[in-house]
Every structure is written in structure tokens, then in C-alpha cells.
Amino acid sequence: MTTPAVSLRGVSKHFESIAALDNFDLTVERGTVLGLLGPSGSGKTTALRAIAGFDRPESGTIEIEGTTVVGDGVWVAPEKRRVGMVFQDYALFPHLSVAGNVGFGLAKNAAPTKIDEVLAMVGLRGLGSRMPHELSGGEQQRVALARALAPEPHLILLDEPFSNLDTPSRDRVRREVRTILVEARATAIFVTHDQEEALAMSDTVAVMRDGTVLQTAAPHDLYRRPSDCWVARFLGEAEFVAGTAANGRVETALGTFADDSGSSGLVEVMIRPEAVRLTPDVGGPALVVDREFYGHDQLITLHLDSGARLLARTGPDPIFNPGDHARYAVTDIVIFPDTGHTYH
Amino acid sequence: MTLATETAPLEVAPAGPHHRIRRPAHPLLWVAAVAALAPVVVPFGFLIGRAVGGGATALDTVLSTRTVELILNTSTLVVAVATAAAAIGVGAAWLTERTDLPGRRVWRVLVALPLVLPSYVIALTVISALGPRGLVSEALGVAMPTVRGFWGAFWALTVATYPFVYLIVASALRRIDPMVEEAARGLGSSQRAVFFRIVAPQLRHAIGAGVLLSALYTLSDFGAVSLVGFDSFTRVVYAQYAGRLDRTPAIVLALVLVLLAFVVLLVESRVRRGRPFIPRPSNRRQSPAPLTNRQRNLSIAGLVALSILALALPIGTLFAWLIRNPAPGGIPWGSLAGSVTVSMLAAIAAVALAVPVAVLVVRHRDGRSAWVERISYLAYSVPHITVGLAMVFVASRYLGSLYQSLLVLVAVYVSVFFAQALGAIRSSLAQLSPSLEDAARGLGRSRLQAMFKVVIPLMRRGIAAGGLLVFLTTMKELPITLLLRPTGLDTLAVDVWSASGDLLYSAAAVPALLLLAVSALPTFVLATRQR
């Protein structure tokens, strides 16, 4: 097993009396992109700043490439950590040209060739003499990335890197950044509150809440097998129904399903909209009450005779309209122990 | 964005707890704050101690009918000047910013220009131009009334301070979102109702700030009231100081004066407190309100009269004296050099200290660092005669050979005017994202390198503005200079003051015009940059 690029163990940090990081653990393998996902105020930015050295945790240890930078009485200043950071507002130095920004962290004699090389890597060859305000948002983003990559850091940290871009350029820039990071074989951690972004960009996603990591997994596993109801809901649309489990079966208002989790007693059953198949049927048990059209697909809200609600994702064709009846089949469920929460 | 719906609270930048964190400040930042403010704070403490220790004499002074009379005199003057300054300032701002008055660009400059005139220069020109044997009587052959005492002080200080109100209110008027007014018109309000119900409430803050400056300036003014012979606090404090061996009465009166300044601050903060909204900034241009012919003629007549009284008369009078008796003592090179030297030293020192202190109050904001800012504003509001007297008291007793040295003089200037440098520099620092410093550190630079390579170059406008402001106010400063200047150091302000005190108006004209000339350039730079 190789040394991880970065590992945090038991890191805590309070602001006033609020715990921004509470016994926080995280490990990132070399050459991978980790998405740190959580709602605002969950402590994800504090975690980044602790790794970079801008905030000093009260307890815990942080190692970068096997070297302790925080903990056991050690404190390494941010400028000595070789960690590149891409800030939410990019923080480009407005008084320096693009080349001046990218070369800021480089030794003077090595700078010109390295600057050209890095600018070429981010697709900004020849723009070195521009000033930051002459660039578009996406270009500024790439300069910020180039500046962070140029000194060949152990690790790149990106703080909400796409939140300042508008939706059309956002998806494109996201793909570009992912490509650049992969080509540079960089290890990266990026912070986001957007689950779609985290799932699309990362090799591994860590979901944070109230200063701790709830679950760390590959995007697909995380989405399909969330560790609890909160993570499940945070990752995307889902309906929850109460159920009773016994002998490998779960009974709910939506029907009876097979259960391989071995639960018994009261449980919560999660159904993702894409696990629901609809068939038009005038005598079907589900009534279409709403339809949200997204272009590539649509989300159908259904009411059942039993009073339960169900969400289904279908293709874009206008087959199901409010007032229509349909039959449904559920292809996948996730079962959680009943926590007593009401979800409707 | 199918997945990002109800479960994702939208995060608005800047958010998260890291924006209110308290990172420990470097101890040197605190050293800078203490160095900047101690020359006012420490002597002030001694002064209070002395007044308390003054016992019976102190109590006699406070309770004398003379003191009550002084309080009445001074408060009447302050209220009258502040009211007149508010009326002129708001009216002129409305005319130049919100109406279709012809020549608005020119009026904007003319109305703001008296800002460069120190109150004592205006007073000097008022007393030497008017009166039965003044310049105007001579030129027109008509006996003019003498304007001295209360009305002389009122005139000089109104002219000197209405530009504060004008500049602040005009810039607030430019920033008010016209959409709100249009909405009110759409809801059926008349133009007049819109002004009183929509615009005026939004201006309350700006008017309050302008009136505060006008009132504090009037309270603190020493030169104008002395020249016109109006018994306000400052004049009497100086007379007590100069004429008596026992300094207790002067000190006690100086402290009562400070109390008056705090009353003014308190009143202003009351006005400010009830502010129920945050003005919406807007870049949209306001469409000017059309004036009727009558309104236009009246407005132009008003502005012409203002320009004659506030600009043409003072400057014309100075030139008239100069032509009458061209340079009786030649050009006072020594005083010119003295003024420029002390002002430059004060500006450089103030800026050098204000940069670290701005970092302290902006980047390490907490209860303690907020006090640094508050104390700097208090030091700025304390009447200068009190500050000068306090320093005389401390320096003559404890500082030995430093008493009446250049070092002490400049240190007091820096302390008193520190708020100007700090204000300009802190606002330019506050506009810089803290991630710029973090970015520089993440790229391998130390705190100090990040400061010099990134932060200071980006603050250069604020630094220049702060330095120019301190330079300008130091040039015009009078009472501190009179009390603390080293023997042999002459300044233009002192020249103007002593020559006009001796009724040598021709001799006063040259240094006064030089003072205006030296002040004009930095003022112009500041005024054009502000837009």
C-alpha cells in the first residue's frame, strides 16, 4: 500500500462555540480526485483551509505525502506545504499579468518555460500577457488552476471552483478541469455543495455534515447505497415510505418487495425516481399529478390510491400527463432502519 | 440540474464560518496601533488626571458663569453653522445632481472648491474686506458694515464646512437607486412627495455624516473664531493658556470642550441608529428633474451668490492685498519649506502606521481591534487645542528635550489625523479578497512577502489618498502647530495667523495664497479620483 497523498485524523476546529470540524478523518490516494460534498456550513471549506495551513486546527494530525504538517507539536506554515489552492473567487492577483500570476510561485530562472508549459496545459497558450480582468470567467478559472499547478504541488485544493460560472459554461469548464487534473496526474480535493458536480467530477466522494464525514465511496456506490437517509436525500431525489420487514420481504404502501438486507420490524424504504418504471394504463393504481420537464428527461409525480406519493423519471416523450393513470414497477430499493423521521 | 433541487441549500459566496474567523494578529500590528494613537491617548489621560487633581480651582472654573456663557456661545455657533451648512450642502447637491440645471459640471467644481480654504483664511478675508475701511468699501465707496464676532465666525465656518455636506450628500444622491423613486411615482406620488418620503430618508445617513464633520470642525476651530474675536471655547482656552501661570483653568475648559465634542458624536450616532434599511446601490443614471424657468433663475442666482461669498470674495481679497502691497516680506521660503516638510513627514508616518493597523482592523476584526478604530475616530474628533494642550502638559514635564521637538509635533499630527489615513487604507483593503493573501502564501510566500508583493501594490490608491488627506489637513492645521512647534520652525499657517493678528493683511496674503496653491494640487487629485 502506497502512502496516501494526504490524510487527516481526528481533526477538530471550532469557531466561537460552533464545531466546524469535529473529529474529522479523511484520506486521499495519490493521483485521485476527491469531492468533498456537504451543505453550506458543514465544514468542508474549513477542512480545505486546514490542509492548506490557512486555519489551525485545535487537535488532530494532518499528513501530506507521509510528512506530518499538523499535530504532535508540529506546525508547517502554508508556504512550506506545497499545496496548491484554487479559490472560489479565483483570487487572481489583479495587478499581475496571466504570466505573472502563473509564475508567482516559481523560482525566477525556471519561470518562463514552465509558465508556457502550464499555460499550454490549461489551453491558454499565448495569453500570458493578458491581465486578469481581460479574461472570461472560465479563462480566469483556468489561470487560477495553472497558477496552482505550476509549482508542482503535492496536492491541489479547489474551493467551490465552479460556483462563480453560469450554467452553460459550468459543465464545459468542469469537464476541462477534470481532464487537466487527470493529465497532470494531480491529486486533488474539491469542495462543493452540488451533488451532481461531486458525482460527475470525482473518483471518490466524501459526504460531510456538521464537521464530520458521513460516508466516503465511489460516486456510483454512494448514490446506489447511501449509508443513511440523510445522505440518500442529499444525493438526489428520492421517495421514502414506511415498511415492515420480515423473512426477506418488506411490505409498504407501494407494494411488497424482496429484501436481501436481513432487516426485520419497522424500516424506511427509499425509492429513487429512476428505479420506477411506468406503463400507461387507464385502470392503473397511480394518478399523474405533476410533470417537471428537463429536456433530457422528466420527473413525474404520482399519487396512489393508498395516499402514498411516488416520483418516477421517464424519457422526454409526453406520454404521461396530469390526470392520466399508470401502472408502476419498482426495480431497486434501499432499506434503512426506521429512525422515526417523517419524510412527507 | 435534476439532482440539485430541494435538498441543496444554495450557498451564497462568501459564506461559511471561515469568513468570520479570528486569526491571531501578529504582535507588530498591535505595536503599530499603539505607536499611532498613544501620542493623543496618553497625554489625554494625564490631562484628566491633572484636572481631577486641580481640586478647588478646577471646580471653580467648571461652575463659573463664564463657563456657562462659553458653552452657550459655542453651542449656538455649532448649531447655526451645522444647520446652514446642511441647508446649503443639501440644496446644492440636489441642484447639481438631480435637476437639469445648466452648467452642472461647472457648478459641481465651484460649489466644492471652498474645501481648500482653511477657516482662518476665510475669516481673514471677511474682516479685511468688509467694515467701513475694508477693501470693499474702498472699492465701491459705500460704507460696509463690520462683520466680526458671532456673524464673522458663522460666515467663515459655514463657508469652510458646507462642502463636507455637499460632497457626501451628492455622492449619496448618485448612488440611490432611481428604480425605487420610479416605483413611488408609479404608485401615484408626486415629485415633491417622492423627495420627502423616498429620497430624504435615504439621505439621512449622508446628511448626518456631513453635519457631523461640520459640527466637529466648528467646535474645534481656533483660527477663525480668534481672528473675528468671538469668544468660543478654543479662543478662551488659548488665552487662558497663554496668559496665566496656573494652567488648570485652561485644562478644565479644554476638557469641557471635549465633552461637547462627545455630545455631538452621541447626537449623530442617535440619528444614525434608527436606520431601517440598507440603500440599494445602483449604476443606473437618474433622469434629471426638469426645473421651471423661475426655479432655474432662482437656483442660478443662489449658486452665483454662494460662489461670490465663498470663493470670489476670499480669493479676490487675497489677490487685492497682494496687488496693493506686492510681497512685503518676499516669498516666505522658510515657512513654505516648513509646512511642506512637517506635512510630508506626518503623511508618510501616518501611512506607514496605517497599513499594518488596517490589516489589524480588517483581517483580524474582533472586539479589541474594533476599539483601535473607534479610538482613532475619537482622537480625530477631539478639538485640536485640547490635544495640543495635553501634549504641552506631558512633554514639558516628562519628555525633557523632546518638548517642542519635530518628533513630538509630527507624532501628534499623525495621531490626530490617523483616522483619515486609516479610513482610506482600510476601505481599499476591505475590497481585497482575503484569498489573495492566502493564494500568495499557498504559492510559497511568507506573510510579509505576501503583504509587499500582493496587498500593498493593490492598496496603492488607498495609500495615496490617505497620505494626501493627512498632508492637506496638516498643512492647514493651526492650534497644535502654535502650541508644539519647535522654536525656529515656521509654517504658512502660523504666518497667516500671526500676520492677520497684527492686522498686516498684505503680509498675510502671500502665505495664504501659497497655502492654497500647495493644497490645490492634492485636492484636485483626490477630487478627480473619487468619481
Please tell me which residue of chain B has the smallest CA distance to A20: B17
Domain A6-82+153-233 CATH superfamily: P-loop containing nucleotide triphosphate hydrolases (3.40.50.300)
- Rounded-to-integer distance, Cα B301 and Cα B307, Å: 10
CB A71 within 8 A of CB A62: yes
Give the closest residue to A158 by CA, choosing from A133, A131, A180, A125. Answer: A180
What residues of chain A lie within 8 A of the CB of B18, using their CB? 15, 20, 45-46, 49, 54-55
For chain B of 531 residues, list the mean pLDDT of each consecutive stretch of 10: 30 38 74 86 82 73 78 91 93 87 87 88 86 74 78 91 88 74 68 75 80 88 88 84 76 83 81 54 63 85 90 87 75 87 93 90 80 83 84 82 85 89 84 86 87 88 87 89 87 87 79 88 70 42
How many angstroms separate the CA atoms of B462 and B432, rounded? 12
Q: Spell out the residues 6+ positions from residue B462 whose beta carbon is closer than 8 angstroms to its own.
A: B424, B425, B426, B427, B428, B429
In chain B, CATH 1.10.3720.10 sits at 26-61+325-531, 64-275+292-320
DSSP string, A41-95: TSSHHHHHHHHHTSS--SEEEEEETTEEEEETTEE--GGGS-EEEE-TT----TT
The three cell numbers of residue A223 are 448514490
Superfamily of domain covering B64-275+292-320: MetI-like (1.10.3720.10)
Query: Cα–Cα–Cα angle for A247, A249, A251, nearest 5°?
Result: 125
DSSP summary character for residue A277: E
Tell me the C-alpha to C-alpha distance, in Å, between residue A289 and each of A255, B1, B84, B501: 20, 21, 69, 91
- What pLDDT, on a 0 to 100 scale, did the predictor assign at position A22? 92
Interchain contact B13–A (C-beta under 8 A)? yes
Exposed/middle/buried for residue B311 (C-beta within 10 Å: 0-12, 13-18, 19+):
middle
- For residue range A255-313, list pLDDT tens digits in order: 888 887 777 888 889 999 999 999 998 888 899 999 999 888 999 999 988 888 899 99
- Is the CB of A89 less than 8 angstroms away from the CB of B13? yes
Closest residue, chain A, to B446 (C-alpha): A79
Q: Which residue of B has its CA nearest to A54?
A: B438
Residue B364, CA distances (Å) to A61, B30, B370, B372 in order? 26, 11, 9, 12
Q: Does B463 touch chain A (CB under 8 A)?
A: no
pLDDT at B286: 62
CB contact under 8 A, B17 and A79: no
Strand pairing category for A74-75 and A67-71: antiparallel
Q: Is A232 on the interface with B (CB under 8 A)?
A: no
CATH number of B26-61+325-531: 1.10.3720.10
First-residue to last-residue Cα distance in chain B: 42
Q: Are strands A298-304 and A286-293 parallel, antiparallel or unpaired?
A: antiparallel
B438–A160: do the CB atoms touch at under 8 Å?
no
Instruction: List the single residue in B13, B20, B446 with the smallest CB-CB distance to A88.
Output: B13
Q: Hey, which residues 17-76 in chain A have their CB within 8 Å of chain B?
A: 18, 20, 39-41, 43, 45-46, 49, 52-55
Interchain contact B442–A (C-beta under 8 A): yes
Contacts of A45 in chain B (CB under 8 A): 16, 18
* B336–A contact, CB cutoff 8 A: no
* Cα–Cα distance for residue pair A34/A6, rounded to 1 Å: 11
Residue B484 and residue B415 in contact, taking contact as beta carbons nearer than 8 Å: no
Assess contact for B145 and B131: CB atoms under 8 A: yes
Contact status of A87 with chain B (Cβ, < 8 Å) = yes
**Residue in A38, A35, A30, A76 with CA at minimum distance from that of residue A57:** A76
What are the chain A neighbours of B453 within 8 Å (beta carbons)?
104
Torsion angles phi and psi, residue A103, rounded to 5:
-85, -5
Taking alpha carbons only, the member of A98, A105, A89, A86 closest to residue A180 is: A86
- Provide the angle, in degrees to the nearest 10, between the axes of the packed helices B406-430 and B460-476: 140
Alpha helices for chain A (secondary structure H): 44-52, 98-102, 111-121, 137-149, 167-183, 195-201, 219-224, 229-235
- The pLDDT score that the predictor gives to residue A39 is 92
Whether residue A79 and residue B438 make contact (CB cut-off 8 A), yes or no, is no
Q: How far is A52 from chain B (nearest CA, A)?
A: 7
Q: Give me the total of CB pairs closer than 8 Å, taking one residue from chain A and one from chain B.
A: 129
Nine-digit cell at B196? Answer: 420627502
B441 touching chain A per CB within 8 A:
yes
pLDDT in tens, A111-134: 788 899 999 988 898 898 999 888
Q: Which of B7, B457, B458 sits opposite A234 (nearest CB)?
A: B7
The residue to which cell 456506490 is assigned: A221
In sequence order, the β-bridge partners of residue A13 are: A21
**Three-state secondary-structure class, residue A206:** strand
Q: Which three cell numbers stand for residue B420?
A: 483619515
- Mapping DSSP to helix (H, G, I), strand (E, B) and coil, where does residue A97 land? coil
Q: From CA B321, how far away is CA B319, in angstroms rounded?
A: 5
- pLDDT tens, residue by residue, A208-256: 999 999 999 999 999 988 988 899 999 988 888 888 888 888 888 888 8
User: Which residue intervals of B188-312 are DSSP H helices?
Assistant: 191-194, 200-220, 223-228, 233-243, 248-273, 293-307
Search chain B and give the residue with CA nearest A80: B444
Q: Do A40 and B16 touch (CB under 8 A)?
A: yes
Give chain A positions within 8 Å (CB) of B458: 93-95
Strand A325-330 versus strand A286-293 pairing type: antiparallel
Strand partners, A240: A270
Distance CA A320, CA A332 (A): 22
Distance CA A93, CA B433 (A): 10
Structural domain spans, chain A:
6-82+153-233, 237-337
The SS3 of residue A319 is coil
Topology annotation, domain A237-337: OB fold (Dihydrolipoamide Acetyltransferase, E2P) (2.40.50)
SS3 A258: strand
For residues B264 and B216, is the Cβ–Cβ distance under 8 A?
yes
Kind of pairing, strands A33-37 and A204-209? parallel
And the C-alpha cell for A19?
464545531
Q: Does A132 touch chain B (CB under 8 A)?
A: no
> What is the 8-class DSSP label of residue A263?
-
Q: Which residues contact A110 (CB under 8 A, 6 or more apart)?
A: none
User: If 0-12 CB within 10 Å is exposed, 13-18 middle and 19+ buried, where does residue B401 land?
Assistant: exposed
Give the pLDDT score at B11.
30
- Do B438 and A83 count as a contact with CB atoms less than 8 A apart? no
Between helix B248-273 and helix B27-53 the angle, nearest 10°, is 120
Half-sphere exposure of B80 (CA within 13 A, CB side): 15
Q: Are residues B13 and A160, on separate chains, in Cβ contact within 8 Å?
A: yes
Mutate to test the interface with A, among B1, B2, B455 (most CBs of A within 10 A): B2
Cβ within 8 Å, pair A83-B442: yes
Interface test with B, best of A48, A189, A194, A311 (most B CBs within 10 A): A194
Q: How far apart are CA B358 and CA B372, in angstroms?
A: 10
- The answer to whether residue A287 neighbours chain B at the CB level (below 8 Å) is no
Q: Check residue A205 and give its pLDDT.
A: 96
Q: Do B9 and A193 touch (CB under 8 A)?
A: yes
For residue B523, what are the contacts with CB-CB under 8 A and spacing of at least 6? Answer: B115, B116, B472
- Residue A176 in contact with residue A165, Cβ under 8 Å? no
Q: Please tell me the distance from the alpha carbon of residue A305 to that of residue A87, in angstroms, as a whole number.
A: 51
Q: Is the Cβ pair B439, A91 closer than 8 Å?
A: yes
What is the three-class DSSP state of B521? helix
